[in-house]
């Protein structure tokens, strides 16, 4: 047995890789990387270079192998892991594959060691009274095994502040478990004059602490002095929520929260990065959530009440700038109040924008017309079929009753069906690039499976999560650039046509897709390679094989690194202007200007600049190329169903775009694929109908003209201008890890 077990990639190895492998940067790749994932290195007074980021990320992951921690590893096993780390390094450095954006940002940092949750992009929690258990956050007035209404909201608040997205369920079965709201609570928020946020906090509703104490006593109140920590924010909110219920209230209906210690707006956040929002958004949230609860005294909370509370939390987290709140609220398919809640324009603009809303259905559900009508007007709700997720992996593998029976919901982008407290765990391969760089795709996907498996051995903060992760060991090996790869490798799209058929259950005529069987066989081969790799590694580690293994994530930021189409989505257009927003102090701007990119002030946000990048899609001139603006809604539904059949045993995230004249097809297509598709969302194709749109379709001639104006390499110019001593802690603007902008930036 070895005595020193930490694996570190040598400088000699990395130098050799840099000589032999060239990263496959997309047209936006290096700029996207530098502004999003390059961490600050204090001792070098600059941000990371790509080789350093990949080294950090791979070392952070490979050392999660539990045999290294327990010193129960042979020399042979250790050598195998060193070799695996080197292969992963080459795979990721060349941009033939990448871990999730979350791993690119967190893996290998001290923050990973302190908060193992942070390696996972997204989570799911059921909104019903739950136990905190042996978690890092347990309010002092509660026992670990005591049911509390606050728990799911605390879980949500905590994960959102760590940068994760959260799906939450307010379906009728959960709402039935909510107790009656017993007490109206008098809420007082105090602040001392020593706080740098004193004046603005008073304006937001706080009261001078010392003046208040002259006429009031803390006796007979539930009082809590919030420490300047994430946990303090969560416990302060829990105190206020639980005071409304007799089971978690000791008879005191006056809650006093002291926010004096909370750091001021603009101060640095050392752990996750970025700058603080100050206490004002928190004060507003306390009063808003308390009002929701006070208005429900004498009855149970509804799906709308609970979604409002979740949205108010999300709104507060967004104010923390680097953390983009991503929420998905899952309600009942016949819950009209939930389905129509965003029609209240005042509340929509105040906080209900903070979640994408979907409804839970099963294969017997057939009332798609009202849902389709709502989608054509506002793009919501999406649909999530929990029955399929519980009883099916890939559709081709048939009915497997209870294979994933704990599933209650999904992450915000819908690619992973999840149990209560469970996270996504993602890694994606870019098969076209991997192929071009000489990788065996089976080997690339084997490495991906092992990477994600190790993430399940992180130090998770919440007991509910530790329990479900140990039970399921769920992984999500994905791929992006799917449309690019299929068209380049097989010469056509996966759907080669449609034939008229009869729905066996309804007798209705449908248009059944015709798939290229060569593509189906290849996807099946790659799926089997992931499953085999998981079984083998699980046996090595002495843990359970993963309940499910594969997915298609929507991608977005990560896909931009390599310049491939996002997840299963078709390129937005063959040629387009991609606009990315930067703080006006971002050190990349002078380099971009020197290289000839068009830069102008953002018309929507102060202190923000909008940079235009001309982009050409892979295969843009191929006669079989299709874009989101030209591919039919029917082909998109069929493509998602194909991937759910032959590749993904979790789910397939897809935001189907439709033209106005296709709106009347939505209900029928949802029903046609009811036995295959686990989750679907739709949005109208917008083209470029507003100023400085993120993506604006252009023709080839305009692209060539704009491309000819770009005359330098941004990375080289940036290095010359800054001598690699660039600024740190630049705030990120308008960036997401997903194609639809739903998931967190990192």
Please confirm, yes or no, whether 415 is among the known catalytic residues. Answer: yes
Question: For 614, phi and psi rounded to 5 degrees?
Answer: -75, 130
**Rounded to an integer, what distance in angstroms lies between the CA atom of residue 165 and that of residue 619?**
33
Question: For 67, phi and psi rounded to 5 degrees?
Answer: -70, -30
Please say whether the beta carbons of 495 and 632 come within 8 A.
no
Please confirm, yes or no, whether 738 is among the known catalytic residues. Answer: no
Please say whether the beta carbons of 718 and 140 come within 8 A.
no
**DSSP state string for 310-365:** HHHHHHHHHTTSS----EEEEEETT-HHHHTGGG-HHHHHHTGGGEEEEEEE-TT-
Catalytic residue among 59, 284, 380, 415: 415
**DSSP state string for 710-743:** --S-HHHHHHHHHTT---S-PPP-S--SSTTS-S
DSSP type of residue 423: B
**Cα–Cα distances in angstroms (integers) from residue 655 to residues 337, 382, 690, 741, in the given order:** 24, 9, 20, 11
**Rounded to an integer, what distance in angstroms lies between the CA atom of residue 721 and that of residue 717?**
6
Count Cβ atoms within 10 A of the Cβ of residue 71 and give its class: 0-12 exposed, 13-18 middle, 19 or more buried: exposed
DSSP type of residue 544: P
DSSP type of residue 263: P
Please say whether the beta carbons of 291 and 284 come within 8 A.
no
Please say whether the beta carbons of 695 and 688 come within 8 A.
yes
Tokens coding 508: 């209705």
Catalytic residue among 413, 595, 654, 738: 413
**Rounded to an integer, what distance in angstroms lies between the CA atom of residue 409 and that of residue 423?**
11
Closest CA to 153 of 176, 137, 140: 137
Question: Mind telling me the catalytic residues?
Answer: 413, 415
């Amino acid at each position: 047995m070895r005595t020193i077990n930490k694996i570190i990639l040598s400088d000699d190895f990395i130098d050799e890789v840099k000589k032999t492998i060239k990263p496959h940067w997309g047209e936006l790749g290096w700029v996207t990387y530098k502004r999003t994932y390059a961490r600050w290195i204090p001792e070098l007074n600059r941000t990371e270079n790509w080789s350093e980021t990949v080294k950090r990320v791979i070392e952070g992951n490979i050392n999660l192998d539990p045999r290294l921690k327990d010193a129960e590893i042979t020399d042979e096993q250790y050598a195998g892991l060193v070799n695996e780390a080197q292969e992963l390094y080459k795979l990721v450095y060349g941009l033939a594959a990448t871990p999730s954006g979350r791993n690119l940002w967190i893996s290998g940092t001290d923050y990973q060691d302190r908060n193992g949750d942070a390696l996972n992009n997204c989570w799911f929690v059921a909104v019903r009274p739950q136990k905190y258990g042996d978690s890092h956050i347990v309010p002092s007035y509660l026992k670990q095994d005591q049911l509390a209404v606050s728990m799911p909201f605390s879980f949500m608040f905590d994960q959102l502040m760590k940068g994760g997205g959260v799906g939450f369920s307010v379906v009728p079965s959960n709402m039935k478990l909510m107790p009656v709201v017993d007490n109206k609570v008098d809420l007082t928020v105090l602040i001392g004059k020593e706080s740098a946020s004193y004046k603005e906090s008073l304006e937001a509703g706080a009261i001078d602490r010392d003046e208040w104490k002259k006429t009031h006593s803390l006796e007979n109140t539930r009082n809590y002095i919030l420490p300047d920590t994430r946990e303090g924010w969560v416990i302060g909110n829990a105190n206020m929520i639980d005071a409304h219920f007799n089971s978690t209230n000791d008879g005191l209906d006056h809650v006093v929260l002291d926010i004096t210690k909370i750091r001021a707006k603009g101060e640095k956040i050392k752990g996750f990065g970025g700058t603080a929002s100050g206490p004002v958004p928190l004060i507003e949230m306390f009063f808003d959530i308390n009002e929701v609860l006070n208005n429900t005294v004498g009855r149970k909370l509804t799906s709308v009440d609970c979604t409002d509370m979740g949205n108010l939390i999300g709104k507060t987290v967004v104010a923390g700038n680097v953390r983009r709140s991503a929420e998905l609220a899952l309600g009942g398919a016949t819950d009209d109040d939930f389905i129509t809640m965003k029609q209240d324009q005042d509340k929509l603009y105040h906080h209900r924008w903070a979640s994408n809303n979907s409804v839970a259905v099963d294969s017997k559900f057939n009332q798609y017309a009202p849902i389709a009508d709502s989608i054509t007007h506002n793009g919501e709700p999406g649909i999530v079929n929990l029955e399929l997720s519980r009883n099916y992996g890939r559709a081709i593998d048939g009915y497997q009753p209870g294979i994933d029976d704990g599933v209650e919901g999904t992450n915000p982008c819908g690619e992973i069906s999840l149990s209560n407290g469970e996270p996504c765990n993602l890694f994606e391969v870019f098969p076209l690039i991997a192929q071009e760089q000489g990788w065996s795709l089976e080997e690339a996907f084997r490495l991906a499976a092992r990477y994600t498996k190790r993430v399940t051995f992180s130090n998770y903060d919440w007991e509910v999560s530790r329990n479900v992760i140990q039970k399921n060991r769920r992984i999500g090996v994905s791929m992006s650039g799917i449309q690019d790869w299929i068209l380049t490798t097989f010469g056509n799209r996966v759907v080669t046509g449609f034939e008229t058929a009869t729905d066996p259950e309804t007798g209705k005529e449908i248009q059944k897709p015709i798939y290229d069987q060569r593509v189906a066989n290849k996807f099946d081969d790659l799926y089997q390679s992931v499953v085999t790799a998981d079984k083998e590694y699980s046996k090595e580690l002495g843990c359970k094989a993963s309940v499910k293994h594969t997915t298609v994530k929507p991608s977005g930021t990560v896909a931009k690194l390599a310049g491939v189409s996002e997840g299963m989505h078709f390129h937005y257009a063959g040629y387009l202007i991609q606009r990315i927003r930067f703080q006006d102090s971002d050190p990349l701007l002078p380099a971009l200007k020197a290289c000839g990119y068009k830069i102008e002030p953002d018309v929507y946000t102060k202190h923000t600049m909008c940079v235009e990048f001309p982009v050409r899609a892979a295969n843009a001139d191929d006669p079989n190329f299709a874009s989101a603006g030209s591919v039919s809604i029917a082909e998109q539904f069929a493509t998602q169903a194909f991937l759910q059949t032959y590749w993904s045993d979790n789910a397939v995230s897809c935001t189907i775009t439709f033209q106005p004249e296709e709106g009347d097809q939505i209900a029928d297509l949802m029903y046609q694929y009811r036995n295959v598709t686990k989750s679907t969302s739709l949005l109208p194709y917008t083209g470029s109908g507003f100023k400085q749109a993120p993506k604006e379709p252009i023709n080839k001639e305009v692209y060539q003209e704009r491309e000819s104006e770009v005359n330098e390499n941004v990375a080289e110019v940036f290095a010359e201008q800054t001598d690699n001593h660039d600024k740190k802690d630049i705030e990120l603007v308008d960036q997401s890890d997903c194609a639809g902008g739903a998931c967190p930036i990192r």
